[in-house]
């Protein structure tokens, strides 16, 4: 079944509205959905979102999910691979990118000064039917 995306022309994105803490994330990490819907129960769909970290916020465990993920660091700093106390890891500057297939462990993450990410999540119809 092909993925159906909505048609959206160029428009200004209001970075002051529409933010919420995603389920399972700590306070200080928020998402803003730009397009689509990802149904993690039925393993269908896609979403494009902004994800932002407030300064000093970090996650404590690696993530793994069953959909494709592309991440582009728009601004700020992102530390990848810190420990459960937010220590260590490798810092990345803006204009860095990752593309991860389903089942790839990644994280934990931290931002010293805050950051803004653009993420695309998509279920591969063939992968979800296995």
Domains in the chain with CATH codes: 30-128 (2.60.120.10)
For 11-61, the pLDDT digits (tens) are 999 999 999 999 989 999 999 999 999 999 999 999 999 999 999 999 999
For 63-112, the pLDDT digits (tens) are 999 999 999 999 999 999 999 999 999 999 999 999 999 999 999 999 99
In this prediction, residue 73 carries a pLDDT of: 98
- Ordered DSSP codes for the chain: -PPP----------TTSS-BPPTTPPTTEEEEEEEEEEETTTTEEEEEEEEEE-TT-B-SS-B--SSEEEEEEEEE-EEES--TTS---EEE-SSEEEEE-TT--B--EE-SS-EEEEEEEE--HHHHT-
pLDDT band at 124 (very low <50, low <70, confident <90, very high): confident
Reduced 3-state DSSP string for 96-120:
EEEEECCCCCECCEECCCCEEEEEE
**Is pLDDT of 3 > 80?**
no
- pTM for the whole thing? 0.91
In this prediction, residue 4 carries a pLDDT of: 75
């Amino acid at each position: 079944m092909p993925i159906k995306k909505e048609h959206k022309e160029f428009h200004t994105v209001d970075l002051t509205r529409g933010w919420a803490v995603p389920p399972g994330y700590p306070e200080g990490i928020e998402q803003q959905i730009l397009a689509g819907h990802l149904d993690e129960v039925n393993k269908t769909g896609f979403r494009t979102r902004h994800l932002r970290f407030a300064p000093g916020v970090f996650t404590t465990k690696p993530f793994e999910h069953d959909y494709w993920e592309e991440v582009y660091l728009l601004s700020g700093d992102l530390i990848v691979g810190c420990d459960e106390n937010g220590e260590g890891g490798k810092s990345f500057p803006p204009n860095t990118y990752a593309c991860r297939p389903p089942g790839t462990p990644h994280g934990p993450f931290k931002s010293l000064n805050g950051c803004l990410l653009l993420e695309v999540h998509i279920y591969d119809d063939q992968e979800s039917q296995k």
